Structure 1
Amino acid sequence: MDPVTLETTRLMLRTFTLADVDAVYEACQDQAIQHYTPVPVPYRRTDAEQLIGEKLPAQWAEDRDYTLGAFRKDTGALVGSYCLTLVSRGVWELGYWAVREQRGRGYSVEAARALCDWGWATLDAHRIEWWAMVGNTASRAVAEKLGFTVEGTLRKRSIANDGTPHDWWVGGLLRP
């Protein structure tokens, strides 16, 4: 699929470009992003270059993972990264991280809602899932504001960047 651009009242969601490498690198220095998301640790500038220059374009081309950066319309500042990843036919996973300085302003709900709306309209999704490591209360708050139903806790679902198994919450949002 060709990349898309989505627009909300305050945000522009678009694919990342090489001009965004420094902003992504800086954002991914955040301890919370490194703890709660599957980014390399330590996160190096070359990781951002590879992600933006190779990995994300390949995922769009393979129709399995659609990642957009959300940017403020008023300042152009990076707000975060928002993606839909194919789980199985008709089922997609919503994933996101937000820049520390942009948190608490409703941007993640706005960006994720736009991406989910696009997913319903474009991807023939019937279910969107959300997963978060137990303790990531900010991610859970965003999911709940979007209307996700927290369906359970999976014990020791995966090994996190700290090398230990962690429990995860799972939630679902059904096609409206």
Structure 2
Amino acid sequence: MEREKIKAGELTLRPFEAEDIPWVYEVSLDPAVQRFLEIPNPYRMADAEYFVRKMAIAGWDDDSRAEFVIEDGAGERLGRVGFGLAGLGQGVAQIGYWLDPAARGRGVATAAVLMLCGWGFERLGLELIEWRAEVGNVASRRVAEKAGFRLEATLRQRLRHRGVRVDAWIGSMLPAELPTRPG
């Protein structure tokens, strides 16, 4: 899959580069990221390098992922938003996102999710985008709901976190449900 940049207003979504590794490492040490994401603990620089090189960058090459860094107009990194594309052949993707602590509370995640969903429906021909989060991750749920995802269910022990099964919220969005077409 060809790497693309997505621009709307002051935000740009751009594919990851090797230069993002130290930033991913720093953000991944944040307690909220540690609490809700299934990432190694303790988190090491090698883990950030694996994510950026083997998942975010290589995912474009094997069509398994479309991962983006969220940047503001000045090029400051604000967060990450991406699709897992295991279901691309069936027109389905799973969305995920996290923000640098300094970017939280400003609507960045919701705007980036809307941008990515619009791109996914239009450029990838997606028919359904799924969102999942561990029960209790209220910030992620708030972003998903503001972006137009419909909460469908609480799935019992559907996710694994630090080797323990946990309940998950699940929601989805269809193309006609995208509330705003990003500019």
* TM-score normalised by length of structure 1: 0.93
1:87–1:171 CA distance, 2 compared to 1 (3 A): farther
From the superposition, tell whether residues 64 and 54 of structure 1 become closer, same or farther in structure 2 (CA, over 3 Å). Answer: closer
User: What are the within-5 Å matches in structure 2 for residues 1-176 of structure 1?
Assistant: 1-74=1-74, 76-88=75-87, 89-161=90-162, 163-176=163-176
Cα drift, residue 135 of structure 1: 0.4
Q: Secondary structure at the match of 1:125?
A: coil
- Contact 2:57 2:67 (C-alpha < 8 Å) held by counterparts: no
Shift of residue 101, structure 1, vs aligned partner = 1.3
Q: Can you list the C-alpha shifts for 1:107-139, whole angstroms capped at 9, x where unaligned? A: 001111111110001111111000000000000
Identity, % of aligned pairs? 38
Structure 2: distance between partners of 1:13 and 1:137? 24
Q: Supply the AA of the counterpart residue of 1:92.
A: A
More deviation, 87-96/142-151: 87-96
* Contact 2:16/2:57 (<8 A) preserved: no
Q: Quote the offset at 1:148 in angstroms.
A: 0.5
Q: What RMSD over aligned residues (CA atoms) do the two structures have, in Å? A: 1.2
Letter in 2 for 1:150: L
Report the residue type matching 2:28 in the other structure: C
Does structure 1 conserve the Cα–Cα contact (< 8 Å) formed by 2:14 and 2:70? Answer: yes
Give how far 1:12 is off.
1.5
Displacement after TM superposition at 1:87 (Å): 4.2
Q: Distance in 2 between matches of 1:55 and 1:142?
A: 24
* Structure 2 alignment gaps of length 5 or more: 177-183
Cα distance in 2 for residues equivalent to 1:43 and 1:78: 20
Amino acid paired to 1:46: A
Distance in 2 (alpha carbons) for counterparts of 1:72 and 1:141: 21
Q: How many Å separate the matches in 2 of 1:157 and 1:85?
A: 17
**Contact 1:35/1:160, CA 8 A, preserved across alignment:** no
AA of the residue aligned to 1:117:
G
Aligned equivalents of 2:59, 2:79: Cα separation in 1: 18
